[in-house]
Amino acid sequence: MKVLLVGGGAREHAIAKVLKKGDVKMFACMNNRNPGIAKMCEDFYLVKETDVESVVDYARRKNIELCVIGPEAPLEKGIADELEKNDIKVVGPKKNAAEIETSKSFMRNLMKKYSIPGGVEYKVFDNVYDAKDFVESTGDVVVKPVGLTGGKGVKIVGEQLKDTNDALNYVKEIIENKIGGVPKVVVEEKIVGEEFTLQGFCDGKKVVPMPAVQDNKRAFENDEGPNTGGMGSYSQGDGLLPFLRKNEYDAAVGIMQKIIEAMKKEGREYKGILYGQFMLSKYGPKVIECNARFGDPEAMNVLPLLESDFVEICNRIVDGHLSNASFMKKATVCKYVVPKGYGIKSMADRELILDEKKIGKEGAELFYASVNEKKGKIYTTASRALGIVGIAESIKKAELIAESGLKHVLGEIYVRHDIGKKDYIAKKVKRMERIRR
């Protein structure tokens, strides 16, 4: 089967690895020359992933039968719609279904309309004057651009924002500068708890859930510094997390199922990957956001554990006959290698020295992210560079494997070493115990 992968990051490298386990000839369209993906392909095309016309034209020329979309930006541009028009199967929602991610106001309004559990108090504004009363009466709020910001647009009072005045200034900044591409802002109540990610395969009717993952977005250790696209993540062998109970996991799955059913009622049948970002609160899981694709780094935690045939899952998603998926009962820890200064001002275009064989001998998995390969050498961009993943029977062992792999990566780089460590996780467990009281 001829399969096209769209995207050139670590998430897409993880997708590429599970695609290649099937009987496929793989092709790729990507912004940058990801060396991990490139070496697995029959052919690849360096192109803007949002250049829908060029990607579809390439797919037609290569007689592609199935296309898997990695990032969200091409989905916002309607790539799934155009591929379907050309009789190419696609794993990724159509433009009107991808709004579950591309419009935060749409997602919130959908949950409210259908009384889906896990909602929060929120309002959507297009001017600061109207937002003032809600912000002042709510107190600690979360301020989000309505459109896409690569996971970096959210700011919270008490964290990135000092007080109500800071929040209103950020509301003004979003609206005036059209941050996220839309002059609108969502202001929500702040939920106290622990974040976790739940991803699911969706065929328009049902959600088949994957193991839960906790991503760690703050740039620096102890969850300090600016938000990033994600500095690393971990998962537990039983599919839960050290602070997440089975009934709470099941509640999150139920919320995602209700979202899929609501989308179908709206005439926006959802086929692809649904990513639920949840805050586990005193009252159970609350939805922080939904994404229309695999998470990055979370794809690197779940896909290496997949025992079922990924290509078969993709075909079943498209055909609307999804069955259960099987995952190895192992823990994972992913740590991102990023350029020095990432999250503030990255030191881009610096050479990375790494030894793939030695990383592999340590038992770690290597995933190339936003790097460029030039004349056989690897260079950083301004974004994340490499994901190193340890897989083992326990989080503790998986973390040690990830650290062993990191020893074989050199350059002007930074890593959050605390992710997955015993003390770091213990703090989260204790915090959740206090919140539940």
DSSP symbols for 8-48: -SHHHHHHHHHHHTSS-EEEEEESS--HHHHTT-SEEEE--
Cα 93 to Cα 378: distance, rounded to the nearest angstrom: 33
Cα 13 to Cα 299: distance, rounded to the nearest angstrom: 9
| CATH architecture of the domain formed by 2-94 | 3-Layer(aba) Sandwich (3.40)
Q: Point out which residues pair with 33 in neighbouring strands.
A: none
Q: Residue 313, Cβ neighbours under 10 Å: how many? A: 21
Q: Cα-flanking dihedrals φ and ψ of residue 329, to 5°?
A: -90, 70
Cα 104 to Cα 288: distance, rounded to the nearest angstrom: 10
pLDDT tens, residue order, the chain (437 aa) = 999 999 999 999 999 999 999 989 999 999 999 999 999 999 999 999 999 999 999 999 999 999 999 999 999 999 999 999 999 999 999 999 999 999 999 999 999 999 999 999 999 999 988 999 999 898 889 999 998 887 778 898 888 888 889 989 999 999 999 998 989 999 999 999 999 999 999 999 999 999 999 999 999 999 998 889 999 999 999 999 999 999 999 999 999 999 999 999 999 999 999 999 999 999 999 999 999 999 999 999 999 999 999 999 999 999 999 999 999 999 999 999 999 999 899 999 999 999 999 999 999 999 999 999 888 899 999 999 999 999 999 999 999 999 999 999 999 999 999 999 999 999 999 999 999 99
| CATH architecture of the domain formed by 194-319 | 2-Layer Sandwich (3.30)
Does this chain's domain 121-189 share its CATH topology with 331-426?
A: no
* Domain regions of the chain by residue span: 2-94, 121-189, 194-319, 331-426
Q: Which residue has the tokens 């996971």?
A: 151
Cα 365 to Cα 372: distance, rounded to the nearest angstrom: 19
Cα 352 to Cα 34: distance, rounded to the nearest angstrom: 13
Structure-block tokens of residue 234? 């971990």
Q: Point out which residues pair with 124 in neighbouring strands.
A: 186
Element (H, E) at 177: helix 164-177
- pLDDT value at residue 149: 81
- pLDDT value at residue 54: 98
Q: Which residue has the tokens 């999250």?
A: 343
Give the CATH number of domain 331-426: 3.90.600.10
What is the homologous superfamily of the domain 121-189 according to CATH?
Answer: ATP-grasp fold, A domain (3.30.1490.20)
* Full-model pTM: 0.95
